[in-house]
Amino acid sequence: MGPGGSQDAPFDLRASVAAGAYHLDCDSIIIGPVDSTFTLIWRRGPTDTILGQATQHWEPLPGGVYFAQPYAVDLTAPAIDYRAGDQLVFRYAATNTSAPAAFIPNGDGANARGRIPSITLPP
């Protein structure tokens, strides 16, 4: 993901979610200096409600090594009172970079020495 880019990963909810900490694993491969913003959104029809957000500054690993860099965060969020059609959206965005693909979520998991991005809902 390069400058000003963002990507949404929507998930169709099946039940209400309790208030509490959402745990995000967001290991990423970094090609150039970049700021990444991770946002959890509750989408109901045309309305998006931001549940929580975190920002991380990244620098590439020295020597041109492209292994995943670890990042995990807990976001405290209110409860979701489920209705049919509701979605939980994980949005990630890249800013403050000139590299066209500075930030790459680690889809290779352990092969890139990291974790695949995931979200653990509050109990």
What range defines the domain where residue 37 resides? 6-61+68-120
- Rounded to 10 degrees, the C-alpha dihedral 113/69/2/25 comes to 90
- Region of 48 (left: φ > 0; alpha: ψ -120 to 50; beta: rest) is beta
pTM of structure: 0.90
> Is 19 inside a domain boundary?
yes
pLDDT digit string, tens, across residues 5-63: 789 999 999 999 999 999 999 999 999 999 999 999 999 999 999 999 999 999 999 99
**Which CATH number covers residue 23?**
2.60.120
> Is 76 inside a domain boundary?
yes
Per the structure, the count of domains in the chain is: 1
> Is 1 inside a domain boundary?
no
Distance CA 57, CA 86 (A): 31
> Is 73 inside a domain boundary?
yes
The label of the residue with tokens 């700021």 reads: 35
